[in-house]
Amino acid sequence: MHPTQQTTIERIERAAEDVVALTLRGAAGPLAPWEPGAHIDLNLPNWLIRQYSLCGDPADRDAYRVAVRLDPLSRGGSEYIHRFLRQGRTLTVSQPRNNFPLAPAPEYLFLAGGIGITPLLPMLRAATAAGRPASLVYAGATAETMPFADELRSEYGDRVRIVATKQQGRPDLAALAAALGPDALVYCCGPASMLAEAEATFPADRLHAERFQPVAKEYGPATPFEAVCARSGRTVPVPADETLLDALNHAGYPVPSGCREGVCGSCELTVLDGDPDHRDDIGAPTDRIFPCVSRSHSDRLTLNL
Ligand code: FES
């Protein structure tokens, strides 16, 4: 359903404490193009699918680069990558998807926390190449835990401020906001605490944030509905205690999934009719739905399946 690509792991290198960077070369010629902010799914040999932001150069169609932090609460993805993936192995990856695109602006401020630096690396490069004033504030517990800090310092000099929060405390976002031009856009990627602080500091129409974890939200009770699969002509009942994704999978529709939390976009489907009850953190357009979390307000939801 979602096209995939074959890659070969050309390099696995240590990028910081508990962070490895993977270079994935296209096994059958050039890889699909992408733009800053995009991510890919890695289809891991242990059957898990995990999403990682592309942090290399979009002009390089021969290889993708991603960086992976070992998550102590890993559900098996980052741990597998750190412990078992080896150079030379073949890895299936998705086409790039972009839930975090870089909009045109006269000036940019990029705010990164830890591994949240990854989507911002190509953004900073693109903004700089376009001749826009752009700066990066990059926070992490200590210098040793922050991937690409040296590379950023040497490439961008004083456009980049590295903040080791254990020694220096957290960056003062209010001071950054006060120094920003009126039309500047702010791109933020990092832990939930940093995103919450950015949301409290910058106007919503100027802040673009990418989340790795869903925001806790309250919804009314889930109600049953029917998914009408327009292309196959079948109707799949979705009980109150099952997700739309699971109901479709159990009915034999191989809808892929990654996070199953409404943050990655791997399970995206097209809605042809009905009133979707969007519960994702991506911001689904009206004709799309992320069935791992979203449901239906209407009794029937017609999907392009
Ligand atoms: S599986 Fe990640 S958004 Fe649905």
- Mean pLDDT, to the nearest integer, of 64-90? 90
Q: What is the pLDDT of residue 220?
A: 84
- Residue 117 sits in a domain whose CATH number is 3.40.50.80
Cα 52 to Cα 74: distance, rounded to the nearest angstrom: 14
pLDDT band at 196 (very low <50, low <70, confident <90, very high): very high
- Residue 267 sits in a domain whose CATH number is 3.10.20.30
- Mean pLDDT, to the nearest integer, of 82-92? 94
Cα 147 to Cα 153: distance, rounded to the nearest angstrom: 12
Backbone angles phi, psi at 162, to 5 degrees: -100, 125
In this model, does residue 53 exceed pLDDT 80?
yes
Together in a domain, 136 and 183: yes
15 lines ligand 1 (CB under 6 A): no
Report how many domains make up the chain.
3
pLDDT band at 256 (very low <50, low <70, confident <90, very high): confident
Contact criterion met (CB below 8 Å) for 81 and 22: yes
266 lines ligand 1 (CB under 6 A): yes
In a domain, 220, yes or no: no
269 lines ligand 1 (CB under 6 A): no
pLDDT digits (tens, 9 = 90+) for 223-239: 999 999 999 999 999 99
In a domain, 102, yes or no: no
Domain that holds residue 295: 225-303
The ligand 1 atom at the shortest distance from the C-alpha of residue 260 is 1
What is the overall mean pLDDT for the chain?
A: 93
In this model, does residue 74 exceed pLDDT 70?
no
Cα 227 to Cα 264: distance, rounded to the nearest angstrom: 22
Burial label for 15, CB within 10 Å (0-12, 13-18, 19+), is buried
The ligand 1 atom at the shortest distance from the C-alpha of residue 282 is 3
Contact criterion met (CB below 8 Å) for 12 and 86: yes
- Mean pLDDT, to the nearest integer, of 127-141? 96
Lowest-confidence region among 1-15, 143-157, 228-242 = 1-15
Quote the DSSP letter at residue 33.
P
Together in a domain, 242 and 182: no
User: Which among 95, 123, 295 has a CA at the least distance from the CA of 209?
Assistant: 123
Q: What is the pLDDT of residue 229?
A: 97
284 lines ligand 1 (CB under 6 A): no
The fraction of the chain above a pLDDT of 90, given in percent, is: 83
Together in a domain, 171 and 249: no
pLDDT band at 217 (very low <50, low <70, confident <90, very high): confident
Q: What is the pLDDT of residue 75?
A: 67
Together in a domain, 149 and 184: yes
In this model, does residue 122 exceed pLDDT 90?
yes
In a domain, 27, yes or no: yes
- Mean pLDDT, to the nearest integer, of 182-198? 94
Cα 5 to Cα 3: distance, rounded to the nearest angstrom: 7
